[in-house]
Structure 1
Amino acid sequence: MTDTAIVGIGATDFSKESGRSELRLACEAIRSALGDAGLEPSDVDGVVRFGMDTSDEIAVARELGMGELRFFSRIGYGGGAACAIVQQAVLAVAGGAADVVVCYRAFNERSGHRFGQVSTGAVAAPSSAGVDNGWHYPFGIATPAATVAMVARRYMHEYGATSEDFGRIAVLDRKHAATNPNAWFYGKPITLAEHQESRMIADPLRLFDCCQETDGGIALVITSAERARDLAAPPVRIAAAAQGSGPDQYTMTSYYREDIAALPEMSVVGRQLWESSGLRPEDMGAIVLYDHFTPYTLLQLEELGFCGRGEAPALVASGELELTGRWPLNPHGGQLGEAYLHGVNGIAEAVRQLRGTAVNQVTDPGHVLVTAGTGVPTSGLILGAA
């Protein structure tokens, strides 16, 4: 892993109605990332994307003039793919399958297909996923918020957590977004009282417990550490990358585990990250956790070893996740505050932090942990200064 680096990051604007096709958003983000690295589309010979992205790699290659591709790959499970696309790029570069790999995610999730709404296609799919969804859709558990709400309620029952504990995550993310000009909620912090007054979406989840619906695109460029030295932007070293799926895994909520109030897939990822990098939670100068729903942010802190089981609410309340705390959380505002780009914008934020160019810059971060979507087979990264 240490022989590879992220050398370019690029993004479109984040909006609620882009006015462009998803293919155009992908191309804009990729061109921006290549420009950041000082590379041309013709330098790219590998592409990795989300399985559910609507813009095929060959279409992107045609539109941008990439020429021949020697490697291409797709990762499934929605937001769980965020860090895994980088892992695939690392494996390709390290194994000699490609020299320069582009990773991207682009969609119109607000003006187009809205993932937060009920999708009849999910239960009608002619696949094992359709069968899985068929067990809970008839009971009205048919949106991501509804599935997460079951875990949240069980977590509250097991550990005495409250809606206010969830709200503190939302307040913190919005506080950081409020000082980030690229964030949708720039200049719009919220208070805990406002969180508590926001309308109920799926009890106990309120509106401000749920991430945004965003139109936009974001891209990353990965190459070898050796080639990175000659490129335009400061490279960021990929110290570790991992994927993980837990026993009895379903999607969003694994109903049949003995312990429902847990995310063992993230524990699988965390163990690999710590073991392969030789680092520990105390070595992280910032953490970028996938915050599609506030309760899952708390559970990740526990699964990754930042605190014990049931102790995340107290950790958040302690102030240790503030910008001046021990583990600054989501300095860009996260998906609750900046934008919901399936977590890839969190990787870009980690790169900015390690380059020293972030809006809410953390002092000497050293290493940054990034996670992908939870409740699904997921992934994670540890990035470090080159």
Structure 2
Amino acid sequence: MSTSDRTFRAAAAVVGAANTPFLKRGTATSSALKLALRAILDAADDAGVDAHDIDGFVSYANDDNEGLAVGAALGVKEIRWSSMVWGGGGGGVAAAVNTAAAAIASGQAETVCVYRGLSEADAGRQSYSKGHIGPLYGAHGVFAPAQICALRTQRLLEVDGVPREALAALVAAAYHHAQNNPDAVAYGRPLSAEVYADSRIISEPLRLYDCSRENDAAGAVIVTSADRARGLRQKPAYVLSGVQGSGPAWTESVENENPYSSAGFHPALVARLWEGAGVEPGEVDVTQVYENFSGPAVASLIDVGLVPPGAEAGRVMQLENLIAPHGALPLNTAGGNIAEGFVHGFGLIVEAVRQIRGTSPNPVPGADVSLLLGGPMAPLVSATLFGSEATV
């Protein structure tokens, strides 16, 4: 089947996008539901659609507020689609967009909202990891995602030969971009190489600034059909391709997994991503990569073919190469989880869409193909390729 025969490609588009302000975790006076509702109303207004016409809801990362309850609180006319992506954490961030697009493409719904809200007063810490850090880990003193990802990052550095500087460059790019984003938590707080290098170890080799933030906030995007999208307020970001899944080895004995330092984007999944969109890695204009920690983010870029493996990764992972507007591989252009704010990566969706619109705080000129990578080193990984009208 040729890409032109695929009904999924460019059948749906994101037409509205919004984040609430990123607050320090535990400080929100609103519940996660109220934050999510605010984001949804803002996203609907951004798109120029009536929120009462939303007929589908998708979330991920064990969001406590299911779509039926969200729809009832909004007073929608009918709920035709409601789903939750399994897999914990940010692995589902792109998968949620893909699910919404699939609902649109198959005729199950007409206007689907993808949302995620976090308020520590509601959900506590690490709500996303329930069921994913089992007794095998606990018996050996491993209780946090940072520890799991540190083990894999250490292997990435020691055995694969990826230089430590590649991680530092990714973090530096995030902070660089945040200085042009007034909504970023790190806005006005630049990070020097010296401060980064001297920061405390969280779980070796990951230092403080290698780790994502945790915030109370919410985000939402509105997805509808390509035909309808062209008549709405905003420039559509078409969903060209979407993939999600994992290899066969994510089990209780996952630490025996091979290849251990992969982010989880196995070759068959990566091939489907590019083939489904009809583009190649070199045609990507801008990337938003989920960085729970810097090491797994670098592994994701290697997995999907944007960065070479091993020592050669250092040749591409240079600060000047990773920043907008003129870098060859601009990434996390609003600051990402590390420097903008963290709601299980939802801000990465919003920024991927803004790049297609040309409204990013750090726009990449003429961006037609915008890549979103969710995960990584998680039970589930996912990716979405967005395209402009020129790609359809």
TM-score (norm 2): 0.91
> 1:244-285 CA distances to partner (integer Å, 9 max, x unpaired)?
20131249x931123312223354442211011111111011
2:273 match = 273
CA shift, 1:111, in A, is: 8.6
Distance in 1, matches of 2:259 and 2:58, equals 34
Amino acid paired to 2:22: F
Note if 1:356 corresponds to 2:366: no
Distance in 1, matches of 2:138 and 2:165, equals 29
Distance in 1, matches of 2:360 and 2:157, equals 35
Distance in 2, matches of 1:5 and 1:258, equals 36
CA separation of 1:51/1:301 partners in 2, compared to 1, >3 Å: closer, same or farther?
A: closer
Do the aligned partners of 1:18 and 1:111 also contact (CA within 8 Å) in 2? no
Q: Which of 87, 90, 98 pairs up with 2:98?
A: 87
CA separation of 1:268/1:178 partners in 2, compared to 1, >3 Å: closer, same or farther?
A: farther
1:367 match = 369
Instruction: Give the match's secondary structure for 1:216.
Output: strand
Instruction: Give the match's secondary structure for 2:209.
Output: helix
Distance in 1, matches of 2:121 and 2:266, equals 28
Do the aligned partners of 1:246 and 1:268 also contact (CA within 8 Å) in 2? no
Note if 1:320 corresponds to 2:318: no
2:345 match = 343
Amino acid paired to 2:114: C
1:74 match = 84
TM-score (norm 1): 0.92
1:147 match = 148
Distance in 2, matches of 1:354 and 1:24, equals 29
Distance in 2, matches of 1:152 and 1:217, equals 29
Instruction: Give the match's secondary structure for 1:136.
Output: helix
Note if 1:245 corresponds to 2:249: no
RMSD: 2.0
CA separation of 1:285/1:230 partners in 2, compared to 1, >3 Å: closer, same or farther?
A: same
Distance in 1, matches of 2:336 and 2:265, equals 21
Note if 1:60 corresponds to 2:70: yes
CA shift, 1:297, in A, is: 1.5
Q: Which of 96, 105, 108 pairs up with 2:107?
A: 96
1:291 match = 291
Note if 1:138 corresponds to 2:139: yes
> 1:316-340 CA distances to partner (integer Å, 9 max, x unpaired)?
1273212111121111111001011
CA separation of 1:342/1:228 partners in 2, compared to 1, >3 Å: closer, same or farther?
A: same
2:385 match = 382
Aligned residues: 375
Q: Which of 20, 36, 49 pairs up with 1:12?
A: 20
Amino acid paired to 1:340: F
Amino acid paired to 1:285: D
CA shift, 1:110, in A, is: 8.4
Distance in 1, matches of 2:189 and 2:61, equals 33
Instruction: Give the match's secondary structure for 1:215.
Output: strand
Distance in 2, matches of 1:318 and 1:28, equals 36
CA separation of 1:212/1:109 partners in 2, compared to 1, >3 Å: closer, same or farther?
A: farther
Amino acid paired to 1:170: V
Note if 1:207 corresponds to 2:215: no
Distance in 1, matches of 2:313 and 2:92, equals 25
Identity of aligned residues (%): 32
Distance in 2, matches of 1:330 and 1:286, equals 8
Q: Give the gaps of 5 or more residues in structure 2.
A: 1-8
CA shift, 1:88, in A, is: 1.0
Do the aligned partners of 2:178 and 2:335 also contact (CA within 8 Å) in 1? yes
2:4 match = none
1:171 match = 172
Amino acid paired to 2:295: P
CA shift, 1:168, in A, is: 2.0
Distance in 2, matches of 1:217 and 1:340, equals 9
Distance in 1, matches of 2:215 and 2:254, equals 26
Q: Give the gaps of 5 or more residues in structure 1.
A: none
Do the aligned partners of 1:109 and 1:115 also contact (CA within 8 Å) in 2? no
